[in-house]
Copies of this chain bind each other. A is one copy, B any other.
Amino acid sequence: MKIIKLDSESKKDILENLLKRSPGQYEKYAKTVNEIINEVKSQKDQALSYYTKQFDKADINSGNIRVTEEEIKEAYSLIDPSVLEVIRKAAYNIETYHTKQKQYSWFDSEPNGIILGQKVTAIGSVGVYVPGGKAAYPSSVLMNVIPAKVAGVKRIAMVTPPDKDGKVYSGTLVAAKEAGVTEIYKVGGAQAIAALAHGTESIKKVDKIVGPGNIYVALAKKAVYGHVSIDSIAGPSEILVIADETANPRYVAADLLSQAEHDELASAILITTSKEIAEQVSIEAAKFTEQLSRRDIIQKSLDNYGYILLADSMEDAIETANEIASEHLEIITRDPFLVMTKIQNAGAIFLGEYSSEPLGDYFAGPNHVLPTNGTAKFFSPLSVDDFIKKSSIISYSKEALKPIYPDIVKFAKAEGLTAHANSISVRFES
């Protein structure tokens, strides 16, 4: 990994380079995606059948699109029992953590008969997209489904592309069953998003769509946004490590590579105040890379979006971390909690030398669906919040309305809305 002096110029270049990975650059696929969505809207199941044949080479129709109980049973028979056990432990931890995120309806009242508050209700139905093939991660199923279940969503429909024999990967099916999915459909791509957003004969429309996918899936989600709700649009993975001279360079190097292996657009950045750490991490990263099975992906990712930045001070390191707003941020310093207080923007913050990022990917409980590509400045990790909505509660008595009604009438008239004024004053006409 290259070592670069952190200054305002190098920072500007790096921020620009990282933003090149944004899915906003791929608008050329939007036309295809819109065509697929319109076809599914008008031809429904028939269009799903057509596109699944074209893109996944599988024969899917209204009769076999939904995964059966028998197929799920078969999946359980195929899975390594020790992996199943880890899935269950992870599911337990994820459920425990997300249960603590639950929000409750509240109200406040005044003795003159005013009640104001917010009613919290679960979203009625949710669609979860799960990528097919080699990108089929059971952990991703757990992370997307369990928060919906904890929120109280009644209907959770999963879609995932089948292989050419019309099968879905057993790990995906088992994770779906364990997490509490109510329906599973063998369809992927933009056509699956269109089916969830608009409904077909086999797949009932949902209220919200979540889950990661390729560029077609991401663009389809953006296209149906507003008609249904969506989670934030996922970008390539990132890690940023802030380390001082107390850090273990082997740990830092291993953690950087754990993100770099995700894909060639992944970014791994170390910001350190120690020249020695910078040099040792660079050496260790090179050594590890040679031994790892995904070394080609790692090497490309590091060449394009990997940096070791040498900062003059911890303040500079933190300021830069806030500007980058990384998906994952590890703080491996003498006093990580002190540094944490100064962090404004990050998806997940890992504190101390034993809080390795993959701990959060699989096991600890917090969600691994995190804001990427600088969006931690305004987006949050996927959470129970994403599966609830709120309604304002407003109740006034006559006693409460009477003293203030002239004010409301005045405000309404000042805005030229006389029917608004009338709806208040009619209550006090003699």
Contact = CB atoms under 8 A, between A and B. Distances in A.
Query: Which size bracket describes the interface of A in this complex?
Result: 35 or more
Contacts of A375: 226, 229
Given A419-B257, A419-B258, A423-B358, A348 B391 contact: yes
Contacts of A121: 344-345
A381 B377 contact: no
B396 A389 contact: no
Given A100-B108, A292-B419, A423-B258, A376 B389 contact: yes
A171 to B, nearest CB: 7
A337 B97 CA distance: 33
B410 A349 contact: no
Interface string A11-28: 000000000001110000
A407 B124 contact: no
Interface string A128-156: 00000010011100000000000000000
A225 B407 CA distance: 38
Nearest to A126: B378
A390 B394 contact: no
A361 interface: yes
Contacts of A352: 395-397
Given A258-B419, A407-B89, A417-B261, A390 B395 contact: no
Given A354-B427, A378-B389, A410-B83, A415 B138 contact: yes
A360 B394 CA distance: 7
Contacts of A385: 385, 390
A359 B400 CA distance: 11
B370 A86 contact: no
Given A260-B419, A418-B293, A367 B392 contact: yes
A380 interface: yes
How many copies of this chain does one complex carry? 2
Contact of A90 (B257, B298, B411): B411
B356 A423 contact: yes
Contact of A351 (B80, B207, B232, B395): B395
Contacts of A345: 121, 124, 389, 391
A375 B390 CA distance: 12
Interface in A70-118: 80, 82-83, 86-87, 89-90, 97, 100-101, 106, 108, 114-116, 118
A362 B411 contact: yes
A82 B380 contact: no
Interface in A366-382: 366-367, 370-371, 375-381
Interface stretch (A43-51, A159-167, A248-256, A270-278): A248-256
Given A358-B424, A363-B407, A411-B362, A391 B376 contact: yes
A36 B250 CA distance: 50
B391 A229 contact: no
Interface string A158-197: 0000000000000100000000000000000000000000
Interface of A: 22-24, 80, 82-83, 86-87, 89-90, 97, 100-101, 106, 108, 114-116, 118-119, 121, 123-124, 134, 137-139, 171, 207-208, 222, 225-229, 232-233, 250-251, 254-255, 257-258, 260-262, 288, 291-294, 298, 329, 336-337, 340, 343-367, 370-371, 375-381, 383, 385, 389-398, 400-401, 404, 407-408, 410-412, 414-424, 426-427
20 contacts: A23-B226, A89-B404, A116-B366, A118-B383, A123-B377, A137-B415, A207-B377, A254-B426, A258-B420, A288-B419, A293-B416, A293-B418, A298-B419, A351-B393, A352-B395, A358-B412, A358-B421, A362-B411, A362-B420, A378-B389
The 4 closest A-B pairs by CB, nearest first: A229-B378, A348-B392, A366-B392, A261-B419
